[in-house]
């Protein structure tokens, strides 16, 4: 915990001289006569894990999809790696797309391919590599995400939910992207697997120097691995910063989110834990 | 700024000095360099394989990813096997974790059991026969289930889903009318043209009207309609039920104590059974119309003459022979489509396979049924 919070402070200090990887300005997105994003602005800095929270149906996934270019925007600008997607030539756009990896909520593994073929798919299509190297890299990625080698030749339908997420993460990391989008990576996992997955994302982020944009509902993930948290409500980012600032915020939605029935219990537990670390150990008589 | 300009290609440079051999690596050791990266990885081994000791200098490496780190580690491993002592120098702290994580290890290729080709061929052949028999067995079972649930519905008419049935009749029957009319006009015209053209040699072109009448009413109308519906609606039913199966909707029905046959399959199959005779009738009229137009335009037989010749050639039973077959064809198409839909497994590939198999099987069975009916009608002299 301590290391993560000092890390968060470092992030705050270095804010000014750090690269902005994703910059969203005054984004407007809507479907039909419904406007979901009403002038949303958000920055993601290089090397950080940004947790993105918001109520169900508020458009967390829509923002991710808008950044990825899967949803048409009505206004505003999205710059990824300092480049405006819409202004790029098709070839440059493809090069840009190879610099990010996406873990979809349900994995989105290709059901007709084995796990290994899934991981090799981006390498095969985008790069010119020998089969030996592709095999080795696929197995290496499998090991990095904590899957056993015998999962390599299985089909997605033969995997459990947690294994699907890990395999999908391995595929997202196939080309060693600089930026990774995770859409609710721990949803549908049991608490043990979820904690393992959080830890995995943390280690990978440090080993590979990734920038992580993580949409999540999991308060535990926010506490354990996110450097910064951004909260979405009413079509805007209502707060962005280290978790501590959000916890101290007076915004009604944030209060309900972090200090409501579920969030409150967890926050209280965390605070207690921290206090206990400060207290001298009780002496046993 | 183009992307290529941003990249510094990976390079290996050999420097010999009194202190020993150094390989200075530079550039971006990333997957972006593709096969170039692999070649440079091999060059590390080639440059150093004859030396006793070599230092790999990483100070000029501007970027390193897992693939680059893996290839450097692989080269180190290969050199170590040739008794070359390798040291890494000037490793940036951010690379050292990566280099540690990607230390070389041999990934055992998973063993695949290999069999004799003839053995596999025989096994496949046997398996497909057993599968076909099993399929037939399941089909009969499914028919039984369908009939028993129909009897149940007949005893409890309030459980019957009329709205669903009407929706199916619209989907299967009403919306197929344009395409059925179109292909039947064309086929009626083609039969007329061929009939007139061939019979002209015997000076008997007026017999072409009997040919059109009998062929269309007895066989072609019902056959073409059934094949069209098998392709159009059978595939839709399989895909619909298949994706419901994939998304556990069928299981949801089962745990609510509802029978998928009663809720989903009965309206679809009944919709087909009601629609297909009507469509067959429309198809017959369309084909006769097509035949009449071509006979007039190509054979000089006026519509009035066509009508009186047709009246002599056919009787009510000619029409009935065709139309009696329609509900049976519908039943076969509906049951095969439903059964294949429910047999779908988890993957998208499986759904595709089931839809293909459903269409192929129902067209095949429609033709087999038509043959059986022909034998039957011949035997009873109808």
Look at A208 and B98 and tell me if their CB atoms are within 8 Å: yes
The C-alpha atoms of residue B198 and residue B201 are separated, in whole angstroms, by 6
Sign of the torsion formed by the C-alpha atoms of A164, A165, A168 and A170: negative
Residues of chain A contacting B2 with CB distance shorter than 8 Å: 92
Distance between A72 CA and the closest CA of chain B, angstroms: 25
What is the pLDDT at residue A273?
62
Question: Is A144 within 8 Å of B101 (Cβ atoms)?
Answer: yes
Count Cβ–Cβ pairs < 8 Å, chain A vs chain B: 70
> Predicted ipTM?
0.74
Ordered by where they begin, the domains of chain B are 3-101 (3.30.750.24), 144-379 (no CATH)
Sign of the torsion formed by the C-alpha atoms of B58, B62, B65 and B67: negative
The C-alpha atoms of residue A139 and residue B343 are separated, in whole angstroms, by 34
The C-alpha atoms of residue B275 and residue B358 are separated, in whole angstroms, by 19
Render pLDDT for A123-132 as a digit per residue (tens, 0 to 9). Answer: 888 888 888 8
Domain range summary for chain A, segments of one domain joined by +:
2-86+213-278
What is the pLDDT at residue B2?
40
CB atoms < 10 A from the CB of B117, how many? Answer: 8
What is the pLDDT at residue A281?
47
Question: Is B32 within 8 Å of B41 (Cβ atoms)?
Answer: no
Residues of chain B contacting A137 with CB distance shorter than 8 Å: 66-67, 70
Q: Return the beta strands (E) in chain A as ranges.
A: 20-31, 34-45, 49-54, 75-80, 83-84, 100-103, 179-183, 211-215, 228-233, 236-241
What is the pLDDT at residue B361?
94
Render pLDDT for A41-91 as a digit per residue (tens, 0 to 9). Answer: 888 888 888 988 887 777 888 888 888 888 888 888 888 888 887 788 888
CB atoms < 10 A from the CB of B277, how many? Answer: 20
Tens of pLDDT, residue by residue, chain B (382 residues): 344 445 788 888 888 777 778 888 888 888 888 788 888 888 888 888 788 888 888 888 888 888 888 888 888 888 888 888 888 888 888 788 888 888 888 776 656 667 788 999 999 999 999 999 998 899 999 999 999 988 988 888 888 888 889 999 999 999 999 999 999 999 999 999 999 988 888 888 888 899 999 999 999 999 999 999 999 999 999 999 999 998 889 999 888 888 888 889 999 999 999 999 999 999 999 999 999 999 999 888 999 999 999 999 999 999 999 999 999 999 999 999 999 999 988 778 889 999 999 999 999 999 999 999 999 999 998 7
Render pLDDT for A133-142 as a digit per residue (tens, 0 to 9). Answer: 888 888 988 8
Question: Under DSSP, is residue A153 helix (H, G, I), strand (E, B) or coil?
Answer: coil
Quick one: CA torsion of B28, B34, B39, B41, rounded to 10 degrees? 50
Q: Please give the DSSP secondary-structure letter assigned to residue B224.
A: H
Q: Please give the DSSP secondary-structure letter assigned to residue B110.
A: P
The C-alpha atoms of residue B7 and residue A253 are separated, in whole angstroms, by 46
Query: A2-86+213-278: what fold?
Result: Rossmann fold (3.40.50)
The C-alpha atoms of residue A101 and residue A47 are separated, in whole angstroms, by 15
Look at A150 and B110 and tell me if their CB atoms are within 8 Å: yes
Look at A149 and B110 and tell me if their CB atoms are within 8 Å: yes
* For A153, nearest residue in chain B (alpha carbons): B110
Look at B31 and A176 and tell me if their CB atoms are within 8 Å: yes
Of A129, A135, A157, the CB nearest to B345: A157
Look at A92 and B3 and tell me if their CB atoms are within 8 Å: yes
**A51 touching B, CB under 8 A?**
no
**B2 touching A, CB under 8 A?**
yes
Question: Under DSSP, is residue B60 helix (H, G, I), strand (E, B) or coil?
Answer: strand
Of B32, B98, B347, the CB nearest to A155: B347
Distance between B63 CA and the closest CA of chain A, angstroms: 11
Of A95, A155, A207, the CB nearest to B3: A95
Question: Is B274 within 8 Å of B375 (Cβ atoms)?
Answer: no
Question: Is B235 within 8 Å of B171 (Cβ atoms)?
Answer: no
Distance between B9 CA and the closest CA of chain A, angstroms: 15
What is the pLDDT at residue A2?
43
A143 pLDDT band (50/70/90 cuts)? confident
The better pLDDT of the pair A159, B346 is held by: A159
Taking 50 as the threshold, does the pLDDT of residue A203 lie above it? Answer: yes
Of A111, A123, A150, the CB nearest to B349: A111
**B31 touching A, CB under 8 A?**
yes
Look at A135 and B348 and tell me if their CB atoms are within 8 Å: no
What is the pLDDT at residue B3?
45
Of A130, A153, A209, the CB nearest to B110: A153
Question: Under DSSP, is residue A215 helix (H, G, I), strand (E, B) or coil?
Answer: strand
Render pLDDT for A7-49 as a digit per residue (tens, 0 to 9). Answer: 555 545 555 457 888 888 888 888 888 888 888 888 888 888 8
Taking 80 as the threshold, does the pLDDT of residue A276 lie above it? Answer: no
Burial of A195 per CB tally in 10 Å (0-12, 13-18, 19+): middle
What is the pLDDT at residue B4?
43
| Strand pairing class (A179-183; A211-215) | parallel
Beta bridge partners of A43: A23
Listed residue (A266, A211, A276) closest to A243, CA to CA: A266
Name the least confident of A101-105, A188-192, B329-333.
A188-192
């Amino acid at each position: 915990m301590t290391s993560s919070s000092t890390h968060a402070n470092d992030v705050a200090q270095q804010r000014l001289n750090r690269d902005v990887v994703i910059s969203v300005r005054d984004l407007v997105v809507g479907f039909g006569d419904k406007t979901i994003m009403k002038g949303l602005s958000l920055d993601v800095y290089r090397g950080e894990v940004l947790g993105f929270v918001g109520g169900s149906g508020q458009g967390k996934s829509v923002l991710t999809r808008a950044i990825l270019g899967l949803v048409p925007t009505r206004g505003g600008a999205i710059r990824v790696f300092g480049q405006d997607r819409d202004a790029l030539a098709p070839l440059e756009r493809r090069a840009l797309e190879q610099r990010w990896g996406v873990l979809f909520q349900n994995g989105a593994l290709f059901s007709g391919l084995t796990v290994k073929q899934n991981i090799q798919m981006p390498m095969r299509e985008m790069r010119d590599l020998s089969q030996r190297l592709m095999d080795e890299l696929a197995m290496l990625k499998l090991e990095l995400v904590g899957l056993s080698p015998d999962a390599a030749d299985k089909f997605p339908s033969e995997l459990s939910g947690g294994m699907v997420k890990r395999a999908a993460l391995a595929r997202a990391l196939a080309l060693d992207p600089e930026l990774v989008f995770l859409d609710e990576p721990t949803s549908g996992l049991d608490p043990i697997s979820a904690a393992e997955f959080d830890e995995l994302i943390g280690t990978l982020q440090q080993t590979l120097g990734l920038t992580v944009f993580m949409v999540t509902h999991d308060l535990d993930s926010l506490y354990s691995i996110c450097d910064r948290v951004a909260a979405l409500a009413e079509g805007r980012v209502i707060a962005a910063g280290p978790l501590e600032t959000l916890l101290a915020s007076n915004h009604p939605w944030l209060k309900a989110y972090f200090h409501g029935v579920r969030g409150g219990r967890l926050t209280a537990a965390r605070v207690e834990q921290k206090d206990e670390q400060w207290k001298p150990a009780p002496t046993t008589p | 700024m183009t992307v290529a300009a941003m990249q510094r290609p990976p390079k290996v440079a050999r420097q010999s000095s009194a202190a020993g051999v150094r390989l200075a690596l530079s550039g971006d050791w990333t997957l972006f360099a593709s096969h170039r990266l692999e070649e440079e990885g091999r060059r590390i081994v080639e440059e150093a394989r004859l030396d006793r000791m070599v230092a790999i200098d990483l100070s000029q490496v501007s970027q390193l990813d897992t693939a680059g780190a893996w290839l450097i580690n692989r080269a180190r491993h290969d050199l170590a096997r040739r008794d070359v002592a390798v040291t890494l120098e000037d490793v940036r702290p951010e690379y050292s974790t990566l280099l540690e994580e990607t230390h070389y290890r041999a990934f055992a290729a998973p063993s695949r059991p290999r069999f004799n080709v003839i053995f596999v061929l025989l096994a496949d052949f046997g398996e497909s026969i057993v599968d076909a028999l099993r399929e037939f067995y399941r089909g009969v079972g499914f028919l039984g289930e369908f009939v028993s649930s129909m009897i149940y519905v007949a005893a409890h008419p309030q459980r019957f889903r009329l709205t669903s049935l009407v929706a199916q009749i619209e989907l299967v029957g009403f919306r197929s009318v344009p395409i059925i009319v179109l292909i039947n006009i064309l086929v009626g015209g083609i039969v007329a043209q061929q009939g007139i053209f061939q019979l002209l040699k015997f000076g008997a072109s007026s017999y072409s009207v009997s040919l059109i009448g009998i062929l269309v009413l007895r066989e072609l109308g019902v056959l073409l309609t059934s094949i069209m519906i098998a392709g159009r609606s059978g595939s839709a039913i399989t895909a619909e039920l298949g994706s419901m199966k994939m998304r556990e909707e069928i299981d949801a029905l089962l745990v609510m104590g509802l029978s998928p046959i009663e809720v989903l399959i009965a309206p679809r199959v009944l919709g087909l059974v009601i629609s297909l005779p009507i469509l067959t009738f429309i198809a017959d009229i369309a084909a006769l119309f097509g035949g009449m137009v071509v006979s007039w335009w190509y054979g000089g037989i006026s519509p009035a003459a066509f009508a009186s010749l047709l009246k002599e050639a056919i009787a009510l039973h000619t029409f009935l022979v065709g139309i009696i077959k329609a509900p049976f064809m519908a039943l076969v198409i509906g049951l095969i489509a439903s059964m294949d839909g429910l047999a779908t497994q988890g993957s998208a590939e499986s759904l595709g396979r089931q839809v293909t198999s459903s269409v192929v099987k129902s067209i095949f069975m429609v033709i087999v049924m038509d043959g059986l009916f022909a034998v039957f009608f011949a035997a009873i002299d109808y």
